[in-house]
Structure 1
Amino acid sequence: MRIIYCDSVLDNKIIEPDYEEEKKSAVNCGFNFSLISFEELTDGNIATALRFIKEPENKELGIYRGWMLTPNQYRNLYDGLLKKNIELINSPAEYQHCHYLPDSYEKIKSKTPKSNWTTELNTDTIIELVSNFGESPIIVKDFVKSEKHNWDEACFIPNASDSEKVKSVVDKFLELRGNSLNEGLVFRQFEELEFLTEHSKSGMPLTKEFRIFFANKRIVKVFNYWDEGEYGEVKPELDDFIEIAQNIDSKLFTMDVAKKKNGDWIIMELGDGQVAGLPDNADRNEFYNNLKENAL
C-alpha cells in the first residue's frame, strides 16, 4: 500500500512540511510513499505532477493524504495514478459522494440537521430556499466549506425569515469564498451544541465535536475535533453512526459528529478520508497502524 503525499512548494524532492510527521508514522507502520506536485496537479499538468511516481510491477493500492481537491482534480489524479499501476482507495464517484454534502445528504438525513441547497445564486431562489426554515436560525456554506471563522458576518443567520440578514450574510460569504466557491450554496438548520470553549484566534464558539475515520465501514480512530478546550470524559455514542456508515458509498471517509445541548448526537458532515486533517494532538502512529489493519 502506498501513501501519496504532496511535495514542498519550495523543493519537489521533499514532502510538504505539514505532512512530515504523518509520513514518518506511515513509514514506521510499513507503508511506502511517493510525492506529487499539488501545484502542477491543480494547474492541470498531470504528467508533471506525477513525474516522480515510480510504477510498481504489480497493481498497488494507493491512499492520497494531501490538500483538498475538487472532484475534477481528484479524477485527474485518480486516472493519472491508474496509468502508473496505482489505484486510489476511493474512486472519483466515491470521493465526490463524501466531499459534497448534497451527494451524501440522503444517507445521513436521519441524524443530520435539515438542509437544502442550490447552484442558482440569485436572491429570489435563495429567499425561497430559506423560507423552508421558517423563523429558525440557520447557517450558510457551500457544498464543502463554510466561513465559520467569520461566524456573524458570513455564516450564521439568527432568523431565516429576516431577508435582509440572509442577503447580507450570503453576500459576505460569497465575497469571502470568491473563486473557491464549491458548486453552490447550502443552508442548514442551526443546532444548539454543547459548548466547549471559544476559539483562541477567531472567538468563534467551539462545541464538543469529534471526527471519526472509517475504512471499509470499520472505525479506524475517533479524534477530538478541536485541539482547544477540555473535552473531559465525553465520547460519542457510536452504534447509530456505525450503522449509517455501512451505507456510505466510500471506502475511506470521515464522519464529523457533535453532541447537542439536549444530549442527542448528530452528524455534522462527511468528508473524504484522504483529504481530512488529523488534529495536532493525534497519535499518528496509532492512526496509521489502524489504517493498515482496516484499509486492506
Structure 2
Amino acid sequence: MILLVPADPLRPRRPDEHFAAEARAARAVGLDVVVVDHDALARGEDARRAVASVSGSGLAVYRGWMLGSEQYARFAEALAERGVVLRTDGEQYRRAHELPGWYAALAAVTPRSVWTTGSERADFDRVRVGLGAGPAVLRDYSKSMKHYWDEAAFIPDLEDGAAAWRVASRFRELREDDFAGGFVLRRFEQFASAEVRTWWVDGVCELIGPHPDSPNDSAPVAVDLDLVAPLIVGLGLPFVAVDLALRADGVWRVIELGDGQVSDRPTTIEPQAMMNALLAHAR
C-alpha cells in the first residue's frame, strides 16, 4: 500500500510537516510514502501535475489536508492514469465528506438536519421553517464554523428569520470559495461530554481518542458504540472518522462523520497507531 501525503510547500520533495510523523511511521512499517501537490489540487489546477511524483502501482491511501469532492475525484482520476488506485474512490469520498451523503443512514443517532442546494435565502427560509422553532447549528455540506460560534454557527431560535439569515450570511462570507453544496441546519442538542473521535476501517472501529481540538481531554472509559456500529457498517465506506458526544440524557450521538483521509489525528494518538489501523485491513 502507498501512503500519499501533501508536500511541504517550501521543500516540495518532503512531506508537509503536519504529516511528517505519519510519513515516518508509514515507512517504518514498510509502506511507500509519496508526496503530492495539495495546493495545486485545491486550486483546481492540473491534477496530473499534482501527482507527477507518484510512481509504481497499487492501492493507496491519502492522509492530508481537506479536498472538495470534485477536487478529490480529479485526484483519483489522475492517480488511476498512473496505475494507483485510491482505497476510497470519488463517490465514497463524497458520501463521507458531505453530510447529505451519510445523514440518512445515521439519522437515528445524529441531530435532525435539513439542507439547501446553494446559498439563496428563499431556500434557506424554506428549510428553516421546515425544521421548526428552536435552536439550531449551521454548517455547509462539509464543514462548520464553530470557532465563530455566535456569529456564524449558532442560531438561538429558527423562528427569528432575520437573525437566522444574519448568521447564514456571515457563515457564507467566512467560507468564501470553500462553501460546499449548501446550508445545513442541524437541531441543537445539549451535550454532557467533550467530543470523542473514532476511526473506522472497513466498518471496524480501530481507534478511539479525543477530538483534535481538545487533544488532552481523556476519552470516557466506555464509549457505547452498539447503536452506531451497525449503521457505520451499512455505509460501506472504507475509512471514516466519526465524532461522538454524550448527550445530556446519557445517549451517545454522532456529531460528525468525515472521510478518514482528511480528518486530523489528535496529537495524543501516536502516528504508528494510525498506520497499524490502516494496515490491519490491507493485508
TM bin, normalised by shorter chain, reads: over 0.9
Q: Are the counterparts in 1 of residues 96 and 237 from structure 2 also a CA contact under 8 Å?
A: yes
More deviation, 224-233/99-108:
224-233
Match of 2:151 in 1: 153
Amino acid at match of 2:277: N
Match of 1:240 in 2: 227
Q: Residues 191-225 of structure 1: CA distance to partner in whole angstroms, max 9, x if unpaired?
A: 1011xxxxxxxxxxxx5211111111112211211
Amino acid at match of 1:271: G
Task: Work out the CA distance in 2 between the residues paired with 1:173 and 1:81.
Answer: 34
Amino acid at match of 1:266: R
After the TM superposition, which residues 103-252 of structure 1 pair with which residues of structure 2 at under 5 Å, given as runs? 103-194=101-192, 207-225=193-211, 226-227=213-214, 230-231=217-218, 233-252=220-239
Q: Are the counterparts in 1 of residues 133 and 159 from structure 2 also a CA contact under 8 Å?
A: yes
Match of 1:54 in 2: 55
Task: Work out the CA distance in 1 between the residues paired with 2:175 and 2:181.
Answer: 11
Task: Work out the CA distance in 2 between the residues paired with 1:117 and 1:271.
Answer: 17
More deviation, 285-294/104-113:
285-294
Match of 1:17 in 2: 17
Task: Give the superposition deviation at 1:90.
Answer: 0.8
More deviation, 119-128/34-43:
119-128
Structure 1 residues 76 and 122, CA gap change in structure 2 (3 angstroms): closer
Task: Give the superposition deviation at 1:103.
Answer: 1.3
Identity within the alignment, %: 26
Task: Work out the CA distance in 1 between the residues paired with 2:249 and 2:219.
Answer: 18
Match of 2:246 in 1: 259
Task: Give the superposition deviation at 1:230.
Answer: 4.1
Match of 1:203 in 2: none
Task: Work out the CA distance in 2 between the residues paired with 1:189 and 1:219.
Answer: 27
Amino acid at match of 1:191: E
Normalising by structure 1, what TM-score?
Answer: 0.90
Task: Work out the CA distance in 2 between the residues paired with 1:138 and 1:108.
Answer: 18
Task: Give the superposition deviation at 1:165.
Answer: 1.3
Tell me the number of residue pairs that the alignment of Structure 1 and Structure 2 aligns.
Answer: 281
Q: Are the counterparts in 1 of residues 210 and 219 from structure 2 also a CA contact under 8 Å?
A: no
Structure 1 residues 30 and 229, CA gap change in structure 2 (3 angstroms): closer
Secondary structure of the corresponding residue to residue 146 of structure 1: coil
Q: Are the counterparts in 2 of residues 216 and 295 from structure 1 also a CA contact under 8 Å?
A: no
Task: Work out the CA distance in 1 between the residues paired with 2:237 and 2:219.
Answer: 32
Amino acid at match of 1:7: A
Superposed CA RMSD: 1.5
Structure 1 residues 129 and 233, CA gap change in structure 2 (3 angstroms): closer
Task: Work out the CA distance in 1 between the residues paired with 2:21 and 2:55.
Answer: 23
Match of 2:263 in 1: 276
Task: Work out the CA distance in 2 between the residues paired with 1:70 and 1:233.
Answer: 33
Match of 2:69 in 1: 71
Normalising by structure 2, what TM-score?
Answer: 0.94
Q: Where does the alignment leave 5 or more consecutive residues of structure 1 unmatched?
A: 195-206
Task: Work out the CA distance in 2 between the residues paired with 1:169 and 1:242.
Answer: 34
Q: Where does the alignment leave 5 or more consecutive residues of structure 2 unmatched?
A: none
